[in-house]
Structure 1
Amino acid sequence: MPLLRIVTTALLAALSLTACHSNYPEPKRTGVAITDYYHDVTNAILTETIIQDSYYGQECSMSISLNRQGKVTDINNVEGFTPLCEAGMTAVFSAEIPAPPDEKTYATFKKLVIVFQPKQT
């Protein structure tokens, strides 16, 4: 299963992010909506991610922008193992990311960095 991290400036202040499969402490200032939406976004992207054997041990990061409806409007600053980055971009654009539940959650997630780091289990 691929390892995916999503990093936002606001989340870094509220959470200690390491991986999508970790149990995160409840954010103190932002409530459950931020944590739930984080998991919704990672699950939507992971569902669309196809990992080839050659991707294990590689990394790709990209910056994405979401609109208020949860649609990806831009991907830039793509860096890393090219085939993994291509698979990651396809997954991000194909993902059915739900709309953020409120304005605070949208403000947290409208600009974020996604890091794909596939590891064999």
Structure 2
Amino acid sequence: MSKPWIYTQPFASIYPMYVEKAEKKGRGRSEVDRVIGWLTGYDEAAMKAEIERKTDCETFFDKAPAPNPNRELITGVVCGVRVEDVEEPVMREIRYLDKLVDELAKGKAMEKILREP
């Protein structure tokens, strides 16, 4: 069975789309970076290195240094799919990030996006 196409795409090609979506709604690149860091544990330098390396999405999420345990609190629908129902681990991580960026673009407060008490 072949992998979903998104797995083989460089994270560097997906990242600008997240930034563009956020910026269209008045949010910034630093907020996208913060959301990615919260989800994966990548700091700015490590994330930049992965982008420059053109690491594919599957590897980007598989090698995430410190996946946030609270990411499992992310629920809702992205592209018609409930993120909490996605069984495949890498696809679930991708959907988590999609959902977080959606929330950012919709103007949700950062504390709520990051599931902070």
Output the TM-score relative to the length of structure 1. Answer: 0.27
Output the TM-score relative to the length of structure 2. Answer: 0.27
Q: Which structure is higher in RCO with an 8 Å CA cutoff and minimum separation 6?
A: 1
Q: Whose strand fraction is larger, Structure 1's or Structure 2's? A: 1
Q: Whose helix fraction is larger, Structure 1's or Structure 2's? A: 2
